[in-house]
Amino acid sequence: MQSFAVYTLVVCEKPDAARRIASALGRAKETKAAGVSVFDVSFSGRDYKICSASGHLYGITDRTKNRSVYPVLDLEWAPIEKGRAARLVRVISALAKDAGAFVHACDYDQEGEVIGHSILQYACGGKYDKAMRAKFSTLTDDEVKEAFETLAPPSAGLARAGRSRHALDFIYGVNLSRALAQSFKASNSGWRNLSIGRVQGPTLAFVADREYEIRLHVPDPYWTINADFEKNGQVVHAKYEKPRVEKLAEARSIVDACTGRDGVVSSANARKMTLRPPTPFNTGDLQREAYRLFRVAPGYTLAIAEKLYLRALISYPRTSSQKLPRSINYEKILAGLGKSFYGQPASILLSRGSLVPNEGPMTDPAHPAIYPTGVIPRLSGLEFKIYDLIAKRFLATFGDPAVSERTDVSIAVNGHVFLAEGRAAVYDGWMAFYRPYVNMEQSALPPLQAGDALANRQVVMEEKFTQLPWRYNQASLLAKMEDERIGTKATRADTIATLFKRNYVAAKKGGIEATDLGFAVIESMREHVPAIVSTGLTRSMEEQLERVEQGSENPADVMGYAVDRLVESLAAFRAQSAVIGKEIGGAAKQSDAIMIGECPVCKRGQLRIMKSWTTKKRFVRCSNYATDCKTSAPLPQRGAIRVAKTCKCGWPIISVAFGRGKRWNTCVNMQCPYKK
């Protein structure tokens, strides 16, 4: 009989994490099993074999295996039977047979706990309860070693909450999406990939509701009045005390009364203002700041942060916390940063002796806020920008409050009052550590005191209109989801990406706009199945899942409540299926249209590339065709089309590709006088 050395099998979430952990524990030997890397290493008298998943190796499926059936409530966890995932399951199962002990070393959050639970429970033969848990927030050598020296029991509450979340998302997403897609299919020719879920629905509603506000907005006129005064050759810009003057006659009266009249300073008050340092990043804060500064989509920011984490450059980036515990060793991190291009700010902070970060109120039971580990990076491009942002934010949290001086001046002119404001930097404080990502606002005023006379150079009024509400951008929409407590720090960015993928929303200058299809889905759901887009229902489920993690609520009760609400919604869906399909069908056809430019005839609509649902031929038509503009034109039926430029006749010139680099440029206008 062949004998085997007893070893401890370590399950990691990703190959890069397995390699980092093996390297941190000692001199590891890498072998291949069916093309999968396995690392042998000894640490503290134990022999370890370290393997990894590649994300989820198991997922929830319905037992019916029939995508046309709903409701689906009979679920099971099953291995992903494709490609690398299936190979990884086979390798881990073989390694588990000869293992004497098991360590769960996946990321310490709900997703990581579920990944490790599935592997240990199914691939390793029910070993989750017997395994030990390695908990760490960074992949630095010291923290990995400490985690393996202080192994603890697995986090059963985290696993229950994570598995319950997967089950909830599955039964809502699969059943509602099937109901929606089949409603569309029954009332329209063809099939379309439509989806809706317990987080996706409310998120789309946020965008649609904001778009309703914009479209219903009626701009009201108002007038602003500004004046320029002068003292000792220096101009003082001032605004009338009422920010908005609602009536034109009143505005003209004020301008007439003040024009040519010198002003007198009635008061000049200077006061110091302090601005506290920023709080350290959690996931949402980092995503919003990266979008503000670099216009990077939240999902991409998180993907970059995860790469930095796997290279042991930052702590775990999926966290809700805005707190930096003393246990992370501020001095050690600053000393590490001091060996790179952060030497000057790091040395300034270290010289102070006492280090106290400015923390925010949000906490996370699993991980602290995001911070640099102090490992010297070798990065470029966007990866460096995200790292630099995290490192400088960490430094700034330890800085002093910034101080500025604000001077408020009131200027009397013939019975009217104008206000001027000056700002001057007094002390940069934390801002010096966070540049170029922040700057102190400054505006100069000459020295002024009560009684000073000011020469009136001009008084002008300007007509303005009340502004449209701001559209959500990806960062502000993510913040809205966070404020409303729907979704998780790990899934919110993916939900937004799905809305784009389904063509429910589109990027527009100034933010995100709901498409006709997105509007149709929301309007139809609100009319017939309102619970699907209810923020309250989704939030209540999130709160129940939190109690499951804490051990104060039974997962079966949560699932029972969710299933009851789902069955109610599906019953409404079935009753109104034909109506829902028709309501969404028309919008779906319009959303398939591609805009190629302004209509040269009516000047108000857009020319769209359409496809006839009877002949299947494509053609161009004005978006106002249904009302008053009958502009249309035929198109070549083969080849990929893109807009090249605008013809002298005002119509678009399209470029049609026929393969092998062959292109044909032609004006869409059949009567174009400039065609050869």
Please check whether residue 608 is in contact with residue 596, taking contact to mean a CB–CB distance below 8 angstroms.
yes
Q: Which amino acid is at 585?
A: G
Residue type, 300: Y
Q: Which two tokens stand for residue 128?
A: 């989750």
Report helix angle 535-550 to 200-216, nearest 10. Answer: 150
| Strand order, beta sheet including 99-104 | 29-33, 36-43, 46-52, 7-12, 99-104, 132-133
Three-state DSSP class for residue 335 = helix
Structure letter (DSSP) for residue 545: H
3-state secondary structure string across 31-42: EEECCEEEEEEE
Cβ-Cβ contacts under 8 Å for 344 (sequence gap 6 or more):
none
Among the options 48, 172, 316, 434, which is catalytic?
A: 316
Amino acid code (one letter) for 636: P
Contacts of 435 (CB under 8 A, 6+ apart): 392
Q: What is the distance of C-alpha 393 from the center of its chain? A: 19
Helix, coil or strand: residue 672: coil
Residue 127's Cβ-side half-sphere holds a number of Cα atoms within 13 Å equal to: 25
Q: What is the C-alpha to C-alpha distance for residues 366 and 36, in angstroms, rounded to an integer? A: 30
Q: Quick one: how many helices (H) and strands (E) in the chain?
A: 19, 23
The CA distance from 179 to 71, in Å, is 9
- As a whole number of angstroms, the distance between CA 599 and CA 81 comes to 51
In the residue annotation, 316 being an active-site residue is answered as yes
Beta bridge partners of 58: 79
Structure tokens at 239: 């605004």
Cβ contact 609:618 at 8 Å:
yes
Please state the separation of Cα 528 from the chain's center in Å: 30
Catalytic (active-site) positions: 316
